[in-house]
Amino acid sequence: MNQQFIRTIVTNIEHDVSKLDIPKYIDKPEYVTNRKAGYSLQMIGWLLWIWLLLPLFTIVLWMYEFWVVHQYVMIPPIIAQVYNLRFIVLGISLLVVTLLLWASYNWYRFKDNERRLKMENTPLEEFVHFFGVTLADQQKMQSAKTLILHYDVQGQLCDFDIIGSQKLVL
């Protein structure tokens, strides 16, 4: 990053706390009204998490584990392969249908809307003025077989070299 930019950021940081727009209740808990209701609601949430949701998650995960063990141990391998192939085909089909729906939507939305209009040709005088060359230099550059362009630090064309023979101009 630019050193001047970093220096500007560092010098613009406000260090005086009295000028900052900080609400008073953040630093002073006595300004918070109805603290007991907030603490009670927080306690009820933790109790629901510990006594209801964690056991439910545990039961669901145990059921999933039993299902996985049943799939690997109880079902013969050939049936399991067909069963897995069915899920793979279903997944690929869902992806294909999603892609087709998205392509249809985009075709319907943009079918009559030409977003990229053809650019008009730049007049020759404007072109040579933009690059800062003369009309004769432009004609030499256009007829050259190999052309080396030299740019300055700002990205402006400052010089060019023509190498090799002239190409045939029809």
Is 5 part of a structural domain of the chain?
no
Q: Are 121 and 139 in contact (CB under 8 A)?
A: no
The domain containing residue 62 runs over which residues?
A: 15-74
Q: What is the pLDDT of residues 46-55, one digit of tens each?
A: 998 899 999 9
Is 155 part of a structural domain of the chain?
yes
Name the average pLDDT for the chain: 81
| Residues 52 and 34 grouped into a single domain | yes
Closest CA to 139 of 114, 160, 111: 160
Q: What angle do CA 8, 14, 17 make, to 5 degrees?
A: 170
pLDDT of residue 28: 66
Is 2 part of a structural domain of the chain?
no
Query: Structurally, how many domains does the chain consist of?
Result: 3
| Residues 64 and 87 grouped into a single domain | no
Q: Does residue 150 come out as left (phi exceeding 0), alpha (psi in the -120 to 50 range) or beta?
A: beta
pLDDT of residue 93: 98
| Residues 54 and 82 grouped into a single domain | no
Is 33 part of a structural domain of the chain?
yes
| Residues 28 and 44 grouped into a single domain | yes
Confidence of residue 168 (pLDDT cuts 50, 70, 90): very low
6 token code pair:
């970093």
- Mean pLDDT calculated for residue range 31-55: 86
Q: With 50 as the cut, is the pLDDT of residue 16 above it?
A: yes
- Mean pLDDT calculated for residue range 123-142: 85
